[in-house]
C-alpha cells in the first residue's frame, strides 16, 4: 500500500520486515541451488547429512514466517495491520482449499501425484498477492 504519510516508526517496522524477507529468501535460493548441485560440490547421498541437507531450505522459510508474524504484531498503522491480517487469512484459506483439492486429485484422479508439498509456501504468497488488492478494495 503506497502512502504519502509514513511515520518513522512505520518506516522502521516495514524496513525491518522487508530486509528480513529479502535476506531470508536470498538464503533460500542459495541453499536450494547448493543442494540441487547447481553450485558444484558433492552432496551426501544418504544418512543424517542427506536429511539435514534436504530440510535446510526450511530454515529461511521459518525466518520469513517469523518476520511476517512479527510484522503483523508491530505494524503501527492499525488499519494497514488489519488489511494485512485479512489478506493473510484469505491467503491461508485459499492455500488450504487448493491443497485439499490437489490432495484429492492426486489420490483419486492420479493428477499431479509427483508434485510435492514444498510448493505450499510459494502458493501462499501467490494467493496473498492475489487477495491483497481485493481486501484493500473493500475499504475504498
Partner 1 sequence: MKNRLKLLRAERDWSQEELAKHLGVSRQSVNAIEVGKFDPSLPLAFKIARLFGASIEVVFDPGYPPGSAR
* DSSP single-letter state for residue 118: G
Binds partner 1 (CB under 8 A): choice among 15, 66, 79, 104: 79
Q: Per rule CB under 8 A, is residue 80 in the interface with partner 1?
A: yes
Number of residues that bind partner 1 (CB under 8 A): 17
Q: Per rule CB under 8 A, is residue 77 in the interface with partner 1?
A: yes
**Cα 87–chain centre separation:** 13
Work out the number of other CB atoms within 10 angstroms of the CB of residue 91: 21
State how far the Cα of 49 lies from the Cα of 73, in Å rounded to an integer: 36
Nearer CB in complex with partner 1: 3/42? 3
Which residues make up the interface to partner 1 (CB under 8 A)?
Answer: 1, 3-7, 10, 76-80, 82, 136, 138-140
Amino acid at each position: 500500500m503506497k502512502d504519502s504519510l509514513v511515520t518513522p516508526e512505520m518506516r522502521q517496522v516495514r524496513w525491518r520486515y522487508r530486509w528480513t524477507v529479502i535476506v531470508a529468501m536470498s538464503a533460500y535460493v542459495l541453499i536450494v541451488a547448493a543442494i540441487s548441485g547447481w553450485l558444484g560440490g558433492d552432496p551426501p547421498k544418504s544418512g543424517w547429512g542427506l536429511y539435514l541437507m534436504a530440510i535446510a531450505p526450511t530454515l529461511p522459510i521459518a525466518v520469513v514466517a517469523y518476520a511476517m508474524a512479527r510484522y503483523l504484531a508491530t505494524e503501527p498503522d492499525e488499519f494497514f495491520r488489519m488489511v494485512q491480517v485479512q489478506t493473510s487469512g484469505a491467503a491461508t484459506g485459499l492455500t488450504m482449499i487448493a491443497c485439499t483439492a490437489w490432495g484429492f486429485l492426486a489420490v483419486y484422479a492420479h493428477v499431479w501425484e509427483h508434485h510435492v508439498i514444498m510448493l505450499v509456501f510459494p502458493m501462499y504468497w501467490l494467493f496473498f498477492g492475489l487477495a491483497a488488492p481485493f481486501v484493500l478494495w473493500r475499504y475504498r
